[in-house]
Chain A
């Protein structure tokens, strides 16, 4: 092969690589122009961050308090935004006095849904990183795998639950309601709108039986028939799925979805393309659908046709000191929070806020015992992002977030359709929690 041909091939390869790179980068570079307007708002919001600690502007220099978390982070399932927001909150606290002068050191372990990896991560946090508290966990299996370990150590984790054990065990309390109780809320709303049949469709993943039991109990108590469906995810034939749901629900029925936003979106869009949106009384969805990404993708054709159970207050247009602090922290410290404003970052914010408030009550050394006693002792902590005060307590199970909103799509954003509403005690787990909590005077 001649030198000319080698050089020519190298130039062509370089040109191709360059062309691809330029195409990709052009999109991203151009995307920056649309966000320039937000910069000024962000600068104003950043001022609010001085209120996240007890000594504004004074960096904490004491011995660190080690907190840790374990999150699922893998292709297609990435919950790292929640711990990233908690880390941002802690960074803000550290820059403004810390916890009585002590900065928080936050150790994050990621896993790829492997039980052995999750168990090892828990041991690494305790034995290597010497963490004294677990805050911000959002993991598909963590509650299931580590509950016995946390119990043996006396650790009371504050988390965003996914696995059933996050709500049904003594050493875990979640700021969110999770798929079961959020689906309960969506079904409850549909029943209040007089749907005569419920079709509840969810991802075919471990734990579907546990989740399905809630909506089944709620619909059963109202004497309304319910059809339970599951779909393999990712959904590759959304048109067929949407058709099946609508056929099963009938004209006065409701279709309730429990999927992540990408899968929910393709099903809803398929229904729209097939022209079958109005062939049921209403469409509902559990919390993951409560995102402007989804509302924007659906567009005005879905205005007030999709009703989403929302575990946390919709941040769009929300005002007040706490939302100013949330936006400020996100702007100043939250560069790693890729999703920006949304329910994931809200959960991280609330978990960190409650943990910090509990840590501030500790007199003396920050040990596993003192920190977890403070966490367990959390009682009636308020957040503008939650419908009702949040309590941990020494209980056999914890469902502290059991009052929520319903939102609906409106010209590309989610707006409140129904204010704070108690999840029905027709779900036996909710009834059990309320009984246990009442017995403990909570």
Chain B
């Protein structure tokens, strides 16, 4: 504005904010992380819609798959792509196994019981990982995907193809899953299951087969996210197991129904988390990002619903 005062430097100085230029690289790291959160969040939403189970073992399944892949690559010298495939299949098989063994017994139970039951699986896997891949000798493990070795430069930082894949997978998975649920017979059956399991069964839908497909699909996504997160975050059992919190927050913001909202929420969580990092005064509080965003979103949604109900005179 000619003759006006540019307030931007003043705001930056007073609040201790880095310049926009300094912020830019954090956008790219946040987008990549948000993409993988979205991948996990979408998997959780799909399973919830089909079975009513909030799968809290999503992170632990992926973590164990990634550690098995690491073991196969480093100790057995297995081709790394084959190892990653085994990791993904491991996710599918374990989750499907859990669904077959416990799915029917849990079907009639309350959502809280179903969720806590999956927490049991998470803790068993976490204990197994701690036993099999100890850290008492200061061991540090990592998975480096071949796509880490190349990429392109933006804002003076290298963006690796793994980061691009992380974001792309989130986008693709959201679109594909949305189309799958909307246009395929199996997807329609899953949506019907979400509405009423008993009525769906009486209509002749093979309920258990549909549920098994949802469990297996969720597990495959867990394994896939496990490999990506092991590369993008860390190959550490505890870290990966509890990283599910960010995805869970995104799924909650999507109210465990909307995969599009879940995707957007996951991207926002990843972005906010990364962009808070260079702000010295609040950087150590950035782990609160998923909780704060989920709490705010749920409060807003509940308020809107309350207003809507009061307008309808209910």
Taking Cβ atoms with an 8 Å cutoff, the residues of A that contact B are 9, 12-13, 16-17, 19-20, 23-24, 26-28, 30-31, 33-34, 73, 75-76, 78-81, 84, 204, 229-232, 234-241, 243-244, 247, 260-266, 269, 273-276, 288, 291, 293-294, 297, 337-340, 342-345
A288 to B137, CA, bound (A): 10
Of B1-9, B39-47, B233-241, B306-314, the segment with at least 4 beta carbons within 8 Å of chain A is B233-241
A16 and B97 within 8 A (CB): yes
**Least distance between B149 CB and chain A CB atoms (Å):** 9
**Is B184's CB within 8 Å of the partner chain A?**
no
Q: Looking across the interface, which residue of chain A has its beta carbon closest to that of B71?
A: A27
Which of B29, B68, B273 is in CB contact (< 8 Å) with A23?
Answer: B68
Taking Cβ atoms with an 8 Å cutoff, the residues of B that contact A are 18, 22, 25-26, 29-30, 32-33, 68, 71-72, 75-77, 86, 90, 93-94, 96-97, 100-101, 126-127, 130, 132, 134-142, 144, 148, 153, 157-158, 160, 162-163, 232-234, 236-239, 243, 246, 273-274, 277-278, 283-284, 286-287
Which of B97, B162, B278 is in CB contact (< 8 Å) with A13?
Answer: B97
Which of B138, B144, B160 is in CB contact (< 8 Å) with A344?
Answer: B138
B140 and A16 within 8 A (CB): no
By a CB distance below 8 angstroms, the chain A residues around B96 are 16
- Give the interface centre of A17, A232, A261, A262 by most chain B CB atoms within 10 Å: A262
B138 and A20 within 8 A (CB): no
Q: Looking across the interface, which residue of chain B has its beta carbon closest to that of A78?
A: B136
A166 to B258, CA, bound (A): 54
Which of A27, A265, A297 is in CB contact (< 8 Å) with B68?
Answer: A27
- Give the interface centre of B137, B163, B236 by most chain A CB atoms within 10 Å: B137
A30 to B141, CA, bound (A): 18
A20 and B97 within 8 A (CB): yes
Which of B137, B160, B232, B246 is in CB contact (< 8 Å) with A342?
Answer: B137
By a CB distance below 8 angstroms, the chain A residues around B86 are 23
Q: Taking chain B's interface residues, is the majority helix, strand, or loop, or is none over half, making it mixed?
A: helix
Which of A31, A204, A288 is in CB contact (< 8 Å) with B138?
Answer: A288
* A-B CB contact pairs (8 Å), 19 listed: A16-B93, A16-B94, A24-B71, A28-B71, A28-B132, A80-B136, A230-B284, A234-B234, A234-B236, A237-B273, A237-B274, A243-B29, A266-B142, A266-B233, A275-B153, A293-B138, A338-B137, A339-B134, A340-B137
B140 and A264 within 8 A (CB): yes
Q: Looking across the interface, which residue of chain A has its beta carbon closest to that of B86?
A: A23
Q: Looking across the interface, which residue of chain A has its beta carbon closest to that of B288?
A: A232
Which of A20, A24, A81 is in CB contact (< 8 Å) with B136?
Answer: A81
A297 and B141 within 8 A (CB): yes
By a CB distance below 8 angstroms, the chain B residues around A263 are 234
By a CB distance below 8 angstroms, the chain A residues around B93 are 16, 19-20
Taking A27-B76, A30-B76, A264-B140 as known contacts, 16 extra A-B pairs with beta carbons closer than 8 A to each other, sorted by chain A number, are: A9-B100, A30-B72, A78-B136, A234-B236, A235-B234, A236-B246, A243-B157, A261-B139, A261-B140, A262-B139, A262-B239, A265-B142, A273-B148, A273-B162, A275-B158, A291-B139
